Structure 1
Amino acid sequence: MQITSYIHPIRTYLPCTGVGKHINNMLLGLNNRDDISLELFFSQQWLTTNKQLNPLSPLSPLPFSTFPSAESTTERAWKLWGLPHMDRYIPTNTDWLYAPMETYLPVTKCPVAITLHDIQAFEPDLPWSHTWQHRLFAYRWGLWVRKALADCQVVFTVSEFSKQRMVDLLDANPDKIVTIGNGVDLSFFEIAKIAPADLNSIIDNPYIIIVGGLRQKKGADDVLAVARELYQRKSDLQIVIAGDSEASYVAAATEHPNVTLLGMVLDAELPQLLRCASSLLFLSPYEGFGIPALEAMAAGIPAVVSNRASLPEIVGDAGIVVDAVMTTAIVDILVDLDRIPKLREDYIQRGHRHVVTYTWTSCVERLVTAFNRFA
């Protein structure tokens, strides 16, 4: 099977977000299969001076073809007018044009499959749903998403939650939406074999790890409320935050002596950062999936997540699901996980049994099965 995959190369550069991890692992997995011939497809603006893909992308060794126009203006035209058709730029023997991310792709020579990781643009009840920024975002997505859902041969997503929201909010056909999920890199399982005492921790005190930065869309206000409560209780538990943070929350964090902002963390450093933590706290109000929760389980620490969107589905009974505004109850749980070895070990073992089913290999297998089914 010949697959041509459209990507935004910059999203694949390391370190990357959850969507970037999905793109990299799905395409590397496809490339490793004997029954698949894979070629990347992207704007030539991303080529380096030696006409190659930037080595910051793990996909840089893969074969590719390009189109000459700029990515942003070309995609805007695709989404507004369904033009220009891209048939002439993709290999003639392409069986599928596949995007492991959200876009609209106007071609006529082969079936098209895209990936919608979530549709938070259309959610009516998020804390930011009624801001002008979100309304503009929703308007722009509204210009093309329904058209993509109708025109694509198949639409992939990463959780049953996201699939159902496409049906509920956009009246999408559930029969053409396939949930393929996400996986966890082996490095997180490998680090779990090493005792935390044998690793160098970034701070002396025990800490709770937050992945995704201090941002409104990652539950920053609830995280800072937890930090405040811990400090008031004179707990030695610190809060360490990995990822880009919004400027207003960076300023707010300076008022909390038990909060450390690390900024972006290299992918190679994240497993050890998780392994040395007491627990993961993930109070995001909206996730299409929530990879950090599974990465924490794989690394051998308990995961405490909010009861919103896909997170209860993803962690199952292996995680601790909380109401993000119930600060006192959350702090009780975090303190107990650090102080009660039996409780902590119970959730570590639950997490281990749960997360072993989340492999990138199984995600790629579901993807290929869908290609064969919808061909």
Structure 2
Amino acid sequence: MKVAFGVSVLARCTRQGGVDGIGTYTRELMAAMPESVALQPYLFDLPASAWVGEVPAVSLGSFRQQALAAFLPWINFNQARSVLGSGINLVHASDHLVPRLPGIPTVATIFDAIPLSHPEWVRYSFKSLKNELWRRTAFWAQHVITISEYSRQEITSHFRIPEDRITAIPLGVGAQWFVPVEQTQEAAVRSRYLLPKDRYFVCVGTLQPRKNIGRLLCAHANLPEHVQRECPLIIVGKPGWGCEDVVNRLTGGQLKHVRWLGHLPDAELQVVIKCATALVFPSLHEGFGLPVLEAFAAGVPVVTSNTTSIPEVAGDAALLIDPLRIDELSDAMCRIIEDPGLAGQLRVRGRERVRGFTWQACAEKTLRVYESMI
């Protein structure tokens, strides 16, 4: 089976020095695919040289130009079809860039419907028009893969794609998250970022409204002074949009027991999470919530939200709170600190829970979708 596989987002993230959720999915799924599947990487809006991999990529030209033309019923992605040539059994658009290629089965991975369900949480020019174009291009795929049952229901509702054309396939956790941190590596990262010697909370995510960092800062500030001092809060993530107030609070010098590290390379991020007392992930909306599983694999207790897809991922292995309730968030953080027995139980439950989420299982289920289409 020869599958044309979209790598545009992964290539762009790699060039910029940090891999996001779509990039992680693309990279890990490619690595886990069985040898019976020959993947042909392809790129939109980037030259073929932007891809660094064992199999060279092909560039399919401008996505926007071809997509706008393809809204006319008699025009398709002719440039993309010409470059791909013959012999392709299926196209997998892993990165929201879905080409219109009649005669070639196409599957698209859509991670969530957040721009449609909560347009107030995204910011780009001509938002309504771009959201409608995104919704329409999704129909060019004969089948959609998403990452949780919650996202499946949201896509059905907001994209108006029939449920029988959508398959929910959970994400996996890389083996590197199960490996203990070496002492020399831990010492180097602690020294570089001046991490606390003993305990700290960590929160991971791009600073944007739905990540709920503002309420987290309030929740930590509401902890008893000795708890704040003994267990500072470490924020990891690059600034996004709508985060001016949060950035001002993080950099204004008023929060004595909070530090913002910005974006970290993957290897250093793993150390920061693995050494943490707990991961606090109070997001308002997630299509999946991969940091929760990564913390489980690392043996780190988790406090997270009881909304959207997160309970589906976390099960009973995390303390679930209403992310709008600052008092609930503070209480859960206190319980982790003051009850070692509870923290130990969460570590055990997390390790048990995460065993069911592997990239191999994700790849096998994805392969079954491929086979059903061809």
The TM-score, its normalising length taken from structure 2, stands at: 0.87
1:142 matched residue in structure 2: 132
CA–CA distance in structure 2, aligned partners of residues 278 and 298 of structure 1: 14
Match of 2:248 in 1: 251
Q: How does 1:13-24 map to 2 (within 5 A)?
A: 13=15, 14-24=17-27
Q: Structure 1 residues 197, 73: CA separation in 2 closer, same or farther (over 3 Å shift)?
A: closer
Is contact 1:121–1:134 with CA below 8 Å preserved after alignment? Answer: no
The Cα offsets for residues 206-251 of structure 1, whole Å up to 9 and x where unpaired, read as 2111111332121122112123213656532211111102444221
Q: 2:138 corresponds to which letter in structure 1?
A: A
- 1:274 and 2:277 are equivalent in the alignment: no
1:1-375 mapped onto 2 (5 Å cutoff): 1-8=1-8, 9-13=11-15, 14-30=17-33, 33-43=34-44, 45-47=46-48, 52-55=49-52, 60-67=53-60, 69-75=61-67, 77-78=69-70, 83-85=76-78, 86-123=80-117, 128=120, 133=123, 136-149=126-139, 151-191=140-180, 201=190, 202-230=195-223, 235-236=228-229, 237-245=231-239, 246-253=243-250, 254=252, 255-375=254-374
Paired amino acid for 2:39: L
Shift of 1:169: 2.8
* Alpha carbons of structure 1 residues 279 and 153: separation in structure 2 relative to 1, 3 Å: same
For 2:43 and 2:51, the matched residues in 1 are separated by: 12
Secondary structure at the aligned position of 2:266 is classed as coil
**Unaligned regions of 5+ residues in structure 1, if any?**
none
CA–CA distance in structure 1, aligned partners of residues 99 and 144 of structure 2: 12
Identity %: 23
Residue identity matched to 1:40: P
Q: Aligned-pair RMSD on alpha carbons?
A: 2.7
C-alpha distance in structure 1 between counterparts of 2:224 and 2:67, whole Å: 48
Q: Secondary structure at the match of 1:224?
A: helix
Query: For 2:77 and 2:370, how far apart are their aligned partners in 1?
Result: 25
Distance 1:336 1:29 in 2: 38
Instruction: Measure, in 2, the Cα distance between the counterparts of 1:221 and 1:176.
Output: 38
Unaligned runs of at least 5 residues, structure 2:
none
Tell me, yes or no, if the aligned pair for 2:204 and 2:281 is still in contact at 8 Å.
Answer: yes
- Which letter maps to 1:7? V
Q: Does the C-alpha gap of structure 1 residues 135 and 10 become closer, same or farther in structure 2, counting only changes over 3 Å? A: closer
* 1:66-99 alpha-carbon deviations (Å, 9 max, x no partner): 23x3455445555788644321111310000111
Closer/same/farther in 2, CA of residues 78 and 141 from structure 1, 3 Å limit: farther
Deviation readout 1:317-351 (Å, 9 max, x if unpaired) = 11111011222222222122123221100000000
**Contact kept? 2:221, 2:228, Cα under 8 Å:** no
Contact 1:45 1:71 survives alignment (8 Å): no
Q: CA deviation at 1:103?
A: 2.2
Q: Quick check: 1:212–1:244 contact (8 Å CA) kept in 2?
A: yes
Shift of 1:162: 0.4
- TM-score, L = length of structure 1: 0.87
> Match of 1:97, as an amino acid?
V
- 1:42 shift after superposition: 1.1
Write the deviation string for residues 40-86 of structure 1: whole angstroms up to 9, x where unpaired.
Answer: 11147334xxxx3354xxxx22232223x345544555578864432
Determine helix, strand or coil for the equivalent of 1:210. strand
What is the aligned residue count? 359
Contact kept? 1:116, 1:157, Cα under 8 Å:
yes
Contact 2:29 2:362 in 1 (8 A): yes
